[in-house]
Structure formats: structure tokens, C-alpha cells
Structure 1
Amino acid sequence: MNYRELSLLFEKLVKNECTEEEADLLLKLLSDRSYDGMFRQLAEKQLQQTAHGESPNDASEESLNLKLEAILNSGLPAKKINKKNVRHLYKWYAAATMLLFLAIGAYVFKKNRPANLVANNHQQKITFGGNKAVLTLSNGQKINLEDAANGAIAAQSNFTITKTKAGLVVYQANASGEGGSAASAAPLYNTITTPDGGQYEVVLPDGSKVWLNAASSIKFPAQFAADKRLVELTGEAYFEVTKVFIPQKKVNKFEKMPFIVLSGRQRIEVLGTRFNVNDYREENSVKTTLLEGSVKVNTLNGDGQQTSPLSAMLRPGQQADLDRGNIKVSAADTASATAWKNGFFQFDNEDIYVVMRKIARWYNIDVDYRGDMRGKVFSGVISKYSNVTEVLKMLQLTGSVSFTIKERKITVL
């Protein structure tokens, strides 16, 4: 097949105009290394058209940024896509090749679109989440961050609290203050809380960044202590911790200041690193996933005190799973663990209850179940910014569940 013929075929797929035979042929050619150059040109051309608003499909900017790992686990038929054959495509231009996979996904979904998803006009009230959170200052004052104007919104302990145009909260040291040096005897604690259907990013007083998932909160001092940085977490958050050095007493040397995360069931000690913590109370286990650096995970008893000797050191690419006081360390799918932060749902052989809790938190909905749900597990990926019906349709493709929507309640059948 020459370039012109392949180009016409690719264009038909992007427009969802392919026949089943044509789609199968294109997928077969994708696994043939001799067509690498042609596919690269087509993908880059399509990306350029998208950048200029000329794309015939509706791929959003978030869709173009989906990671290949998530696409490869999107639930498309395994016989259609061979991981080994497409991994080398990612080396050229990841964003460009996403268009091809999105087009394939659109074709497969259109062909297998379920017909029995029941919905009514009330579904229009169910919108996806966004940057929503409430900042509670040490004096009890609450600031709705969604409604707050950009710029300085409060000041505390030699810090100015600012909301940026990008929609995040930043703690900035005042020029006349000491900033991140020794804190006062009575630290002033702030809390940022996201509701169902909310998420938010904050830059802490030490420069560390935290992304909060829906229905989560983080409590921290407006100025950290002289010897440690301690925050308290509920729900889920992704951390990028900044390394901070403090002078050792009586010697001309510096030591790293530890960063400690306390959640309901565990204590994490880090120095400078990137990791994700999932500690929703309604979930059976706590999952800590390390992307960079090192962390030490310790179990806590019901009184919030550290227990011994249950602890684990994690290396990059590992996950600690804390369940009923026991810690299991295993290789992690970091893309899956941080999918929520990057704008999409990723389900990896998860049961219907876990899946629907994720959906409920993001769309701020209630969920009811009818019938036996045992053994119903799902794998797939879809943008968090899709209409909720599109997410449910993806789940329904398995044929094991169906849904009804009434006002803000989804019933699983």
C-alpha cells in the first residue's frame, strides 16, 4: 500500500467512516514495521491540523496528552493492539500517535455502542468536576477558592497566600519575613478541602507541590517547624516534595529536613520525592505509590500512633498496599496510580464498587445497586472530562452491567 492509499484509509478512520474490513486492515498495517515512516507522517500531519482547529474529530487537548500506557490498557480488544508492536511508535511523537489510538477507540466504541443505557433529561445536571476547594485559615475563616479572585487572598505568619491564574494556591514568603525558617511556638494551621466533584493544587510554604483529588483534604502549618515538615492528609493526593536543608547544631554542616505525611492509617517519611497516596476511608486498603526518590511507610494504630515493627521502604516504581495492618510491597503501575491527576480514569481489574466510588466522587453523584454484583470487574481508561454517560457506556461494553440515571442518582443493574 502506498502513502496516498494509507493516507485515505487513515483519514476515513479518523472520521469514523471506515468499514470493519478497512479498520482491520489499518490495524494490521500498524504492526508492520515497514510502515513506520508513513504512520509517523500521518500522525504528525493530523496533530498539526488539530493544532490549527482543522481536525475532523473531537480530540481534546487532554485527550492528546493521555499517556500511551493508559491507552494500551483502555479495554480495547487485545487482538486488535499488540503492545510490543506499538511501543516503538511512542518514541517518535507520543502526542501525535495518540490520535491514531483515539480514532481506533472511537471506531471500536461506535461499532459496539450499547443500546440499553437508560437516561433522561436530568443527566444534563451531572457535570464533571473541576478546581473546587475551600481554604480554612487558622482563625476559622473559610475562603471558597473557586469564587476567590486571582491574587492575594490572605496573609499569615510572614506568608502571603495567593491564588494564581492557573487556579492553584501558593504560599509565598514575604520579603521582610523569615519564610521557611523556624516556626513560632504556636503554629497556625491551614486546611484545604476539596468536595465531591472537586480537585485542587497547592504550593506549600516550603515550595512542595500537592495535588488533591476529590473529597480530600490536607492540613499544614502556615510556617513549618525548624526540624520537620508535617502535613495531615485525608483522601488522595499526589506530592512533589522539595528538598530542604537545615544547619546541624554546633557543626558547620547541613542535614535534610524530613517531610512527614500523616493519614488515617499510616505515616510516611520522605526527603525530596514524588509519590501518590490513596487513603480514602471507604476503601479497604491504603496505597502509596513512589515515582521518584524514597519513602518509608509506617503503620498507625487507631489512636494515630505509630505501631512497630510494620514499616516498609519503597524504591521508585514500587507500591505499598496497607490492608488490615499488614504492608505488601509490589511493583507499581505508576501511570494508573496517577491517572486521576493527569485527567482521566484508569480502571485496572477493579470491582464495580471501587469503580463507581471513583466516578461518584468526581461527578458528585449517588450510586445504588440492584442485583448481584459479585465478580464484576473492569479495566479501561477514559477522560475524566467526558460526560458521565460516556464513562458508563464504556463500562457497559462488557455486557455485565447496565445503568439508569435519574436526577443525580445512578443505579447499577
Structure 2
Amino acid sequence: MNYRELSILFEKLVKNECTEKEADEVLKLLSDRSYDSMFRQLVEKQFQETDEGLILNEESEEALNLQLEAILKSNLPSKKNIKKDFRGLQKWYMAATALLFIAVGAYLFKKNAPQNLVANNHQHKISFGGNKATLTLSNGKKIDLEDAANGAIAAQSNFTIKKTSAGVVVYQANVASGTVSSATAQPLFNTITTPYGGQYEVILPDGSKVWLNAASSIKFPAQFAANERMVELTGEAYFEVEKVFSPQKGSSKHERLPFVVLSGRQKIQVLGTRFNVNDYREENTVKTTLLEGSVKVNTLMEDDQHTANSAAMLKPGQQSDLDGGNFKVNAADTASAVAWKKGFFQFDNEDIHVVMRKISRWYNVQVEYRGDMRGKGFSGVISKYSDVTEVLKMLQLTGTVSFTINNRTIIVS
């Protein structure tokens, strides 16, 4: 669930408009620590919009608790609104109480955050990223997807390319055309590229969905071949692959058309599944995380030091890691792997350079280092839509680094 969807659900909880099913969903999400920062952000926003307000300079934590409880109780449904739905009311109260503790945590985080983060140039506000990308058609024409109007924006190979009001690019087949081309048809390739500070969702000609992270690109034919569907990826993307059956003569009606993802250092063979691929050139490790279905990961060696490629079939909940010549499969933290898609950063004892590259890509900033950064690992979860200073304050809480912002450069020391 992304931030916008969670915001709508949260608003219904606050207004006591949650159904029992929706209250169940809130409780489920509250038990997933990867959503903590989103809930904190929503709670803080609610307090800011409430007459009682959240007094962040309050000295007494006991007084803060009383204040939060008063706001919580003010939202309890009246007896005439309960309608004998005690179970629904009980779940509503459980979810609201859990949010109370999140609110206290948000307050304590703000109270204890270091205040010596300095922005040397206040004229340049560093904004977080958004839906930004460029579509490059096979004829070389480039379309800025952020500025393009909603509706049809181009046509390619029996498909109309549309931009939806939600900021998604969709390849919609024209009447009587298919999702695959004949074996002799010359493919027309399109590319969608996100800049630093950008992300984008595209629905491919076969109906598969792809979410591109910042500084990434995907190249694909406007109409897939009859024997396989192949795309090329740089950077990071999350895939939900549609099941498509082979149209070739002699094929079983239940034979699925393979889907292949080529990245710089890997070839991933897919049938129908949900998975995340992280293959930024500047990162040492390539990570493929499987959430559903099955994929076969093949490494593609680029030098003469390794004579044989490695391969592994992943099961749901597994992640393959390719680090130089070392290839291994481990149990995955799937929430961490797809945190970027859900709208937040999740760091799990990550090296400061890896952390800052993620921040650099999303906020479109430069990073400089002062001093020895070896052995510094960081953990934490925070919304990608927070001000960059809030993200840096979270990292600075460790006491091992400090930050200075100079125009669009973050100096780590």
C-alpha cells in the first residue's frame, strides 16, 4: 500500500468511517514496522489539523500522553453510531490506540533530534522526488511525461500510448491487434527513463506493470515478439508480470510466454510473478528479490576472471545477491526491498555510502565526504516525502556523522 492509499484509510479511521474489514487492514499494517514512518507522518498531520494541536515543546511526556488520549477519545463514536457493531468498534479502538503510541514516538524523535544540521544557502530548497520520466520512441522523439497532458500522447505498432490522470503510462492495444507480433515483424523499441529525483509507473504492451525507481530506465518493444517478452533494465524496478500464453503453432494452450529482464549483470527469466531488481552500476551488489511466483536468475560476467556463469531459481521470500564474482541466495527482507515503491526509505545496517547514494538519487543532490567513513552502518525507516533534513537528522541520531547542506550538496563528516 502506498502513502496516498494509506492516507485515505487513515482518514476514514480518524472520522470513524472504517468498516470492520478496513480496521483489520489498519491493524495488519500497524504490525508491519516498514509502515511506521508513514503512520507517524499521518498522525503528525492530523494533530496539526486538530484544534487541540500537538504541543511539541511540552516538557512533560505524561502531559503529552494525556493530550493524545484526549484527542483520541474525542473521536470515539457515540452510542447511537455504534449500531451494535462491537467487534468493529473494538478493532477501531485497538488501531487508534496503536496510533497513539506511534504519535508519542514521533514526538520523542522530534524532541531528541540534533539541531546542529546547517543549511548554508536557504535560497535553494531541496525538494523530494516525484513522478518524472522521459519516454523515448523508436524514431528518437522524446516526450516529457511530467509535462505531457493526460490522454493519448503517441502511437506505436498498433498500440496507443496514453498517460492516465494517476501519472501512469499505458500501452493500449488498438482493436484487432495483439500483444505479440509476428516472427518477421521488425520490433520498434521504446525507452522510459527516470532522472535523479524521479520515479514512474508503466503498463507494458502485454499488461505487465513496472515501477521505475530514480535514475533508472527500461527499454522494451512496442509490441512483443511471438516467442518471448524481453526488456532491458538499468537501475532499479519492481515488476508485476502478466501471464501471457504462447501464440505459436504447436505450443500447448497452457504454455506461457517467457518474460526476460536483462540488466547489466544479470538475465532473469520469468513466467508470471512479482519481484524487485536493483542493479545500479554504481553499487557493488546486484539484488533480485522475489515476492511471488518464481524466477531464474543468471549472472552475466563481464570479464575474463570467471569462466562460468552462476544461476539460481528463486522461491518467494528469497533474494539473490551478486557481489563481484560471488553469487548467493538468502532469505529476503521483502519489505525493505520494496520500501522505495511504497514511499519510504528503509535502511538495514547499510553502509553510509549506499545510504547517501539513495538519498542523492531521490533528492537529486551531490554528496561529499569529510573524514574516514569506513565501518559506519545505519538503520531506520522514514518517508521519502519527508524534507531531506528530517532524513539526515535520523541518520545523525547515531552520533557517528554530521551533515552540512551547501546549495544542492550534502557534506557528510
Q: Which residue of 1 aligns with 2:237?
A: 237
CA separation in 2, counterparts of 1:159 and 1:340? 30
RMSD of aligned Cα (Å) = 2.9
1:65-214 correspondence runs (5 A): 68-71=32-35, 92=91, 96=96, 99-122=99-122, 124-182=124-182, 184-214=184-214
Q: Which amino acid aligns with 2:33?
A: E
- Structure 2 counterpart of 1:82: none
Q: Could you tell me how far 1:71 is from its partner in structure 2?
A: 5.0
CA distance in 2, matches of 1:99, 1:236: 32
TM-superposed CA distance for 1:105, in Å, is 2.6
- Following superposition, the deviation at residue 309 of structure 1 comes to 4.7
Aligned to 1:48: 14
Identity between Structure 1 and Structure 2 (%): 73
Equivalence for 2:332: 332
C-alpha change, 1:250 and 1:115, in structure 2 (3 Å) is closer
Q: CA deviation at 1:300?
A: 0.6
Asked if the contact 2:117–2:393 (Cα under 8 Å) also holds between the matched residues in 1, the reply is: yes
After superposition, give the CA deviation of every residue in 1:276-320 in whole Å (9 maximum; x if it has no partner): 0000000001000000000000011228xx974510010000000
Distance verdict in 2 for CA 1:248–1:163, change over 3 Å: closer
> Unpaired runs of 5+ in structure 1?
1-42, 53-63, 77-90
Aligned partner letter, 1:320: S
Q: Which residue of 1 is the match for residue 313 of structure 2?
A: 313
Secondary structure of the structure 2 residue equivalent to 1:277: strand
Q: Distance in 2 between matches of 1:262 and 1:97?
A: 47
Counterpart position of 1:408: 408
- Please give the secondary structure, in 2, of the residue aligned with 1:255: coil
8 Å CA contact 2:241, 2:272 repeated in 1: yes
Would you say the 8 A contact 1:150–1:164 is kept in 2?
yes
CA-to-aligned-CA distance 1:164-196 (integer Å, 9 cap, x gap): 000010000001423434365310000000000
- CA drift of 1:119 comes to 1.6
Which structure 2 segments of 5+ residues have no match? Answer: 1-8, 19-27, 41-89
Give TM-score scaled by structure 1 length: 0.77
Counterpart CA distance in 2 for 1:294 and 1:199 is: 26
Question: What is the CA distance between 1:375 and its match in structure 2?
Answer: 1.4
Evaluate the alpha carbon distance shift between residue 392 and residue 136 of structure 1 in structure 2; reply closer, same or farther with a 3 A threshold.
same
1:228 & 1:205 partners in 2: Cα distance? 13
Correspondence list, 1:268-283, <5 A:
268-283=268-283
Alpha-carbon shift at residue 68 of structure 1 (Å): 2.0
SS of 1:146's partner is: coil
Q: C-alpha separation between the residues in 2 aligned to 1:222 and 1:46?
A: 41
CA distances 1:130-156 after superposition (whole Å, capped 9, x unpaired): 000000000000000000000000001
Partner of 1:223 in structure 2? Answer: 223
Letter in 2 for 1:70: S
Amino acid at match of 1:189: F
- Aligned counterparts of 1:374 and 1:49: Cα–Cα separation in 2: 49
Name the aligned partner's letter for residue 173 of structure 1: A
| Equivalences, count | 344
CA distance in 1, matches of 2:123, 2:389: 8
SS at match of 1:256: coil
Q: Which TM-score applies when normalising by structure 2?
A: 0.77
- Distance of 2:98 and 2:189 partners within structure 1: 44
Tell me the residue number matched to 1:27.
none
